[in-house]
Structures are given as structure tokens and as C-alpha cells.
Amino acid sequence: MTSAKRKIFVAPSILSADFGRLAEEIQEVEKGGCDVIHVDVMDGHFVPNLTIGPPVIRAIRRVTKLPLDVHLMIEQPGRYLDEYRKAGSDWITIHVEASSDVDADLKKIRDLGAKAGLSLRPKTSVSTLKAYLSKIDLVLIMTVEPGFGGQAFMPDMVQKIKDLRGEFPGLISVDGGIAADTVKTVIEAGVDVLVAGTGIFGERDRSAAIRKLRMG
């Protein structure tokens, strides 16, 4: 499938938004034409950073009708899936490295009525996902080490996207260093969902930034 025939989703990552005016930031990117709101949840254990939890997701849910794409960078995510779904998560992505029972966690996500996703760290092989590809809607390829926004894109992750595209018909999302100078490469490699933080919230004109990303 060529990029010209695929719908490209733009998902602003609120990790780079101004949390002092988060509702306005979300409404601005929604008005600017984005498709999804990406929410990074970090526990300070699986990754060396601590971010938000269900109360903030509930607050976000009240200000937008867009799908909430929630990336759980937390250890043993199965313990919290009910809570994140109830808070308003529409897409729930867990890390293959963080779950002790990936099959059970994926089943629970889908039983809760959410889209199920798997993510992997840059050093984790795509082959780790093979047993689960028929059970998920989304794969999130990290093109930076998870934990902090504003990192530089890792070009060697492009081959991982290409390898996955050859065997996975679902959505491929990419997160990390996605901006005007990297977006064409990942779209050509087969990506469907562009997660961008600084590349959108770091720009004065969010509508123009979203438009540039979608055009590749």
C-alpha cells in the first residue's frame, strides 16, 4: 500500500503542550485539523519520568470529542486498564517489554471496547511483536528512547517501520522527533499515525504545522 492511498492521522502529543492552559491547547490543535490526541503516561519506573494519570485524561475527555490515544509507559499495565478506559481512553497502547502477560492485557483492552496497541523501545526487535500482530489494532514505533519529549529522531528506526509494514495491516504509529524534516521519510516507510509534540506545540501556527505534517 502506498502512502498516497493511506489516510495519514496527525496526533499532537500533549507532553509538549502548555499544561497551564491545556484545554485551550487541545482545542487549538483540534480546530487546526488534527485527528487524534496523544497522551503519554509514565510511571517513573518503566521510563525515567513521571507524567499524568486518569484524572487528567478525564479532564481532557471533557474538552474534546477526538479519540484519545493513550500510551502507557508503565510497568504491569494490566493492573490499570479499567481505570484508563473509564477515564476516556479510546486507544490504549502498552509496551511489550512492560507486561508479564501481553495476551491477557490485549484481550482486556479489547474487551473494554478500546483499540489495542503495542509499543516497543528502539532496541527491541520487531520480531517480538509477531505473536501478537493478529490481536492488535496499532503498533507504536518509538523513534526515540521513551521518557522525555524533544529528543532527536533515530534514522535507523525507519527500517523497523518498513519491516513491520510488510507483515502488519493495521495502523503503524510513530513517535519521537517527528517534524517537517522527518515526516516524509516515515510516511514513505509505511506509517499511518504521526505523533508529534514539539513539532506541533512548539510552532506558533499549529494549523500550519499539522497541515505540513499531513502533507509529508
List the domain range (segments joined by +) for residue 115: 3-215
pTM over 0.85: yes
The predicted pLDDT at position 143 comes to 86
CATH number at residue 191: 3.20.20.70
Q: Which residues are catalytic?
A: 40, 175
Tens of pLDDT, residues 49-64: 778 899 999 999 999 9
Count of structural domains, the chain: 1
For the chain, the first-to-last Cα distance in angstroms comes to 16
C-alpha cell of residue 153: 529522531
C-alpha cell of residue 29: 490543535
Q: What angle do CA 52, 161, 110 make, to 5 degrees?
A: 50
pLDDT < 50 positions in the chain? 1-4
Q: Is the dihedral of CA 44, 90, 193, 134 positive or negative?
A: positive
